Amino acid sequence: MSVLIYVFLAIGALFNLLGAVALLRFPDVYTRIHGATKCTTFGSIFSVLAVAVYGIARGGGEGGTMAIRAFLALVFLLLTNPTGSHALARAAHRSGIKPFRAVVDRLEEAGKEGR
């Protein structure tokens, strides 16, 4: 059981690290949102799963509460993360930040049509 917890924690830490690297490496706000929020989500899912497994392994009332609340935290994370990153990206585009080295920008084109 503790092996499983360590594996989950290791995967979570690895993806969180990659998210941090992406934040430094990627050129503009949109690609940074890809890197940061996505890798962080996957990393956080595994960290929370580790907590849930720990709770189940511990057993009893306290462990059960811990596991269930960890799962609920996961659910709310999965609900709020896309909403938040969408709001950030949309606000960035509306305030006029162009995507860096973009191949196409259909939203800009649609804006010119007078949406």
Partner 1 sequence: MRRLAERTTTGVLVFALYLLFSAFTGPWGVWAPDELLAGGVLALVVGWVAGPLVWERGGWRLLSPQRWALFLVYLVGPFLYAMAKANLDVAWRVITGRIQPGIVRFNPELATDFGRTFLANSITLTPGTLTLDVDDATGDFFVHWINVTDPSPSADAVCGPFPAWARRIAE
Q: Provide the token pair at 61.
A: 């009332």
Interaction pattern, residues 19-58, with partner 1; x per rule: CB under 8 A? --xx--xx-x-xx-xxx--xx-xx----------------
Interaction pattern, residues 69-98, with partner 1; x per rule: CB under 8 A? x--x-----xx-xxx-xx--xx--x-----
Query: How far, in Å, CA of 50 to CA of 56, rounded?
Result: 10
Min CB(81)–partner 1 separation in Å: 7
Min CB(91)–partner 1 separation in Å: 10
Picking from 19, 43, 41, 42, the residue whose alpha carbon sits closest to that of residue 31 is 19
Picking from 68, 69, 77, the residue whose alpha carbon sits closest to that of residue 44 is 77
Residue 115 in contact with partner 1, rule: CB under 8 A: yes
Min CB(1)–partner 1 separation in Å: 19
C-beta closer to partner 1: residue 1 or 98? 98
One-letter amino acid identity for 54?
A: Y
Q: Provide the token pair at 31.
A: 């690609």
C-beta closer to partner 1: residue 33 or 48? 33
Query: How far, in Å, CA of 85 to CA of 92, rounded?
Result: 10
Q: Provide the token pair at 21.
A: 């690297």
